[in-house]
Amino acid sequence: MAETKDVKDLKVIIGLEIHCQLNTKTKLFCSCSTDYRNDEPNTHVCPICLGLPGALPKLNKQAVYYALKVAKALNLEIPEYSEFSRKNYFYPDLPKGYQISQYDKPIAERGIMIIDDDEGHDKEIRITRIHLEEDPGRLVHKTSRDRVGYSLVDYNRSSIPLIEIVTEPDLSSPKEARRFLNKLRATLEYLDVFDGEKEGAIRVDANISLEGHKRVECKNISSYKGVEKALLFEITRQRNLIRRGQEIAQETRHFLEGRGITTGSRSKEEENDYRYFPEPDLKPLKVKDWVNDIELPELPDAKRERFIEQYNISLNHAKTLTGDIKVADFYELIAENEPVLSATWVADTLLGELYYRDMKIDSVPPENFTELVTLLKEKEITDRVAVDILRMTLDEIKEGKKPDLPSAIVKKLGLGKGSDNEFDEIIRNIIENNPQAIEDFHSGKSNALNFLVGQVMKETRGRADPKTLNNTIKEYIEKME
Ligand SMILES: Nc1ncnc2c1ncn2[C@@H]1O[C@H](COP(=O)(O)OP(=O)(O)OP(=O)(O)O)[C@@H](O)[C@H]1O
Ligand SMILES: [Mg+2]
Ligand SMILES: [Mg+2]
């Protein structure tokens, strides 16, 4: 069956296992603070999260509540009871010799998330299950000068609450996987149970196979881009093997972020028998009773529909604006004034400029942005000038300064839109100094006119109105014959 198909036409099958740190104040089974990132190693520890003999876990209810919130948001079925289990393995990141996790009675099972497929159509991705577990410690591997390796271990992270979200193998491309993760992250942030900006907040195991062949699992990828890259690499690697008539080994591979490749593990250490059994120190949870108290906020899909309805903006803009709760909140602060124009400028310009500068939207004062949109609406400035002002504003914020209001910048730098006759001399000069362009124009090359418009825009620092400039320049050329 598979042999008759061209290798490049084999379907790509992807399933993800996503570990997300929940942003509770304290750890899953003790009261150590989870806010460890700026502190020395092993300063947020106690007998429980160090796994000392005799220490008993005490369940953090907040974490259960957060996990249930996620389960409800992704439409999972909540069972009557949920139970913790011990997952036994020996590794220095886990001093107890077992991780408290969940096995056959997870918090929730069988849900759905809808994403865009590669054609932009809605696609349902089935969620297999969500379970709660504790994070192990963190190992730092070092090489000393005599090249003998050694490892340091930090238990600050030990017992931070995680949820593991497992999907069915419903994703069909690396881009889909990326979109799934983006939407999942957005949902978790809407729910306020997760902070995706924190280092180590999300770790993904990406499973991938080609139709009719064995699956490979790329473990512990720590960025969204990394997942996409690892999957792209795997598709090429697996296709090449199949082309050469070799079998794909079912194995665990590691993704090397820096080099963008995956490598096979030397040992078979992952092929563990975890000897799961119910955790005797924690009672089963009657989760069905908890879930009734959970109220969900407005989620991305609902917000998107409301934005379209309330502000009359396009589907694409609504998708972009609701793809991140901070962007959605910013938009709602400024939307009253010119909702459509504001949507365009946030979605099509502001986000790109922020991304380019590695800045976050909540650093932008809403009043500055509102004023910029007003100036545009009143046609006091051109689009070009607006982009320049936006860039100046963001650069100032980035340098830690308080940016001037756009109206003040316009005044100070004389950036107000001019009428074409104000630029009479500039237009004449440009026409006179570009005889080649005039000749091209006469021989019907439309680019020539664009070139002249561009020159005038440059000379006027973008103050001329490109919409009228086309005609004006045409008239000048005809007049000057
Ligand atoms: N043929 C396949 N191709 C790609 N992915 C697959 C395929 N079959 C299953 N998967 C995915 O592999 C993952 C299986 O994860 P699961 O946790 O159930 O098992 P595991 O990987 O064997 O165990 P572990 O939790 O120890 O990693 C799921 O995300 C599932 O969608
Ligand atoms: Mg798993
Ligand atoms: Mg797995």
Q: Other C-beta atoms within 10 Å of 251: how many? A: 15
* pLDDT score of 2: 46
Return the ligand number nearest the Cα of 208. 1
Pocket test for ligand 1, best of 126, 166, 184, 220 (most atoms within 8 A of CB): 166
* pLDDT score of 270: 54
Q: In Å, how far are 47, 115, 135, 153, 479 from 42, measured between CA atoms? A: 12, 40, 15, 8, 80
Q: What is the pLDDT of residues 330-377, one digit of tens each?
A: 999 999 889 999 999 999 999 999 999 999 999 999 999 999 999 999
* pLDDT score of 276: 95
Ligand 1 atom closest to residue 214's alpha carbon, by position in its atom list:
1
Return the ligand number nearest the Cα of 276. 1
Which amino acid is it at 114?
A: I
Which whole number is the average pLDDT over 109-135?
96
Residue with tokens 């379209």, as numbered in its chain: 308
Mean residue pLDDT across the chain = 92
Among the residue ranges 224-233, 305-314, 410-419, 442-451, the one predicted with the least confidence is 410-419
**Residue 269 — very low, low, confident or very high, per pLDDT cuts 50/70/90?**
low
DSSP class per residue in 17-29: EEEEE---SB-SS
Q: Mean pLDDT highest for which of 137-141, 422-426, 445-449?
A: 137-141
Residue 252, ligand 1, Cβ within 6 A: no
Residue 99, ligand 1, Cβ within 6 A: no
**Residue 427 — very low, low, confident or very high, per pLDDT cuts 50/70/90?**
confident
Ligand 1 atom closest to residue 209's alpha carbon, by position in its atom list:
3
Residue 15, ligand 1, Cβ within 6 A: yes
Ligand 1 atom closest to residue 207's alpha carbon, by position in its atom list:
5
Residues with a beta carbon under 5 angstroms from ion ligand 2: 17
Q: How far is CA 269 from the centre of its chain?
A: 32
Residue 207, ligand 1, Cβ within 6 A: yes
Pairwise pLDDT comparison (31 vs 434), residue with the higher score: 31
* pLDDT score of 67: 97
Measured in angstroms, how far is the CA atom of residue 42 from the centroid of ligand 2?
Answer: 27
Return the ligand number nearest the Cα of 167. 1
* Cα 342 from Cα 283, distance rounded (Å): 52
ipTM for the whole complex: 0.96
* Cα 150 from Cα 161, distance rounded (Å): 28
DSSP class per residue in 76-99: PBPPS-B--EEEE---TT-TTSEE
Which whole number is the average pLDDT over 285-291?
92
Which whole number is the average pLDDT over 262-274?
72
Whether the pLDDT of residue 481 is over 70: the answer is no
